[in-house]
Homo-oligomer: A and B are copies of this chain.
Amino acid sequence: MPYFDAASSLPLHPVARQALAAAWEDGWADPARLHREGRRARMLLDAARESAAELAGCRPDELVLTSSGTRALHTGIAGALAGRRRAGRHLVVSSVEHSAVLAAAEAHEKTGGTVASVPVGRNGRVDVAAFAAAVRGAPADSRGTALACLQSANHEVGTEQPVAEAAQECRAAGVPLLVDAAQSLPWGPVAGDWSLLAASAHKWGGPAGVGLLVVRKGVRFAPVPPVDERESGRAAGFPDIPGVVAAAASLRAVRQEAAAEAERLRCLVDRLRTRIPELVPDTEVVGDPVRRLPHLVTFSCLYADGEALLHALDREGFAVSSGSSCTAATLVPSHVLRAMGVLSEGNIRVSLPPGTAEADVDRLLTVLPEAVASVRAQLSAPDTATRPPTGDGPDDAPEAAREPRDLTVDSLGRRCPIPVIELAKAIGQVPVGGVVTVLADDEAARLDIPAWCGMRGQEYLGEEAAPAGSAYRVRRRA
């Protein structure tokens, strides 16, 4: 049963299991204690820290062991902001950072700081010049930029960010750059002159409950109270030494295969990127096709329900994830897809774990077209192969006979992808030049109606506030 949600979490690597079981014997005592059991625990912790630091590309005393990648990000951002409070209160992030970074940015705003969110292109990449301008462009009342954050690669669409170039710009501006390396660290160390880095062990087959935070020597860092004596005051609480040992051991094991496995998975993902749009009509593959993570591809299917699609694939034995609004507790499409301005309905992320069999990827290509078709059929989606009818629609009637020329579709209370499906059906009911207004209160409509217009060559006129929800106006062009 192929598990294609590696970007979310991986099963424990066999090396991690061995390391855990071995470390249970000697790694359970308090490493701060002076007795034999404490000293043994301390030696294990020191050795694991050294190993993990080497793989992360830092010195052992620059590595802080946290209880998760999220905690590493929260701690790193808060500590760097507090340490550089005198330098300023401005924080720069890309608009496609992990939600843990965006939550930390929100928290910063709540305490009076300012935040700039640097936009990305349709491929999901930030522009280095725009990032540098944001770093140098702190609002006057914030005095200066305390910290900038940029992921090494995006967790939802796989696009690699220009981290080394951004780090250079930050260095020139005297601002530390924090890199969220959660998705890329299993594949290799992060290049460039960054200042802080965060990662999470369960993303490479290490155990849950272990995060890495690197704080380079020389970075001003003030731990946010309450603190204790653990990890030089930078991560409170009794350390999970077996977890850290297993995290380091499994990262080393994964890295040994990384170059070969990256090449192999890159080819498999290329196959998916090429074949999916050929096999499944009206599908948009998103994210940068070249500068990307080796193992991850994301696409969206017009007129499809992401949750239904995910379940359909699950029934076929494929575990994938989705950034569609229907799969989120908030009923809002993924902020990454929104920032990129791409279609969010019927969204699927496929992320291949190391060792993925070629046959399983091919089988996904076999079952996907039918899975999408069945979901579309359930929603009575328009035939994706056809365009607005030209033979029997009102636009064949004489101009004068048309009444009404425009049409309003009420999709209030209907969830993605229904508003887009109703728009697609209605567009054939108005003549070329006519306008369809869709009333919708589903958040995904804001993203998917313009995206549909782009895919269908129709003209998106914009959004207006309506008594309930919003009114989206689309002019028929063809």
Contacts and interface: CB of A to CB of B under 8 A. Distances in A.
B35 A310 contact: yes
A88 interface: no
Contacts of A11: 24, 28-29
Contacts of A307: 34
A73 to B, nearest CB: 9
A327 B209 contact: no
Interface string A433-449: 00000000000000000
A327 B35 CA distance: 11
Contact of A207 (B29, B227, B236, B240): B240
A196 to B, nearest CB: 16
A228 interface: yes
B35 A314 contact: yes
Contacts of A28: 9-12, 202, 208
Nearest to A10: B28
Nearest to A71: B237
Interface string A270-288: 0000000000000000000
A159 interface: no
A311 interface: yes
Interface string A219-238: 00000011111000000111
Given A29-B8, A100-B228, A226-B104, A69 B310 contact: no
A470 interface: no
A30 interface: yes
Q: Counting chain B CB atoms within 10 Å of each CB, which of A1, A10, A29 scores highest?
A: A29
Given A67-B67, A68-B67, A236 B24 contact: no
A34 B225 CA distance: 37
Interface in A7-65: 8-12, 17, 20-21, 24, 28-30, 33-38
Q: How large is the interface on A (under 10, 10 to 19, 20 to 34, 35 or more residues)?
A: 35 or more
A35 B309 CA distance: 11
A243 interface: yes
A187 interface: no
Nearest to A205: B28
Nearest to A27: B208
A242 interface: yes
14 contacts: A3-B37, A9-B29, A9-B238, A11-B29, A29-B319, A34-B322, A36-B314, A67-B71, A71-B236, A100-B236, A103-B225, A103-B226, A103-B227, A209-B209
Interface of A: 1, 3, 5, 8-12, 17, 20-21, 24, 28-30, 33-38, 67-71, 74, 99-100, 103-104, 106-107, 110, 200, 202, 207-211, 225-229, 236-243, 307, 310-311, 314, 319-322, 327, 329
Given A103-B228, A208-B241, A209-B243, 16 more contacts: A5-B38, A8-B30, A9-B29, A11-B24, A12-B28, A35-B310, A35-B319, A67-B67, A67-B209, A100-B236, A103-B226, A106-B226, A200-B238, A208-B242, A209-B210, A229-B329
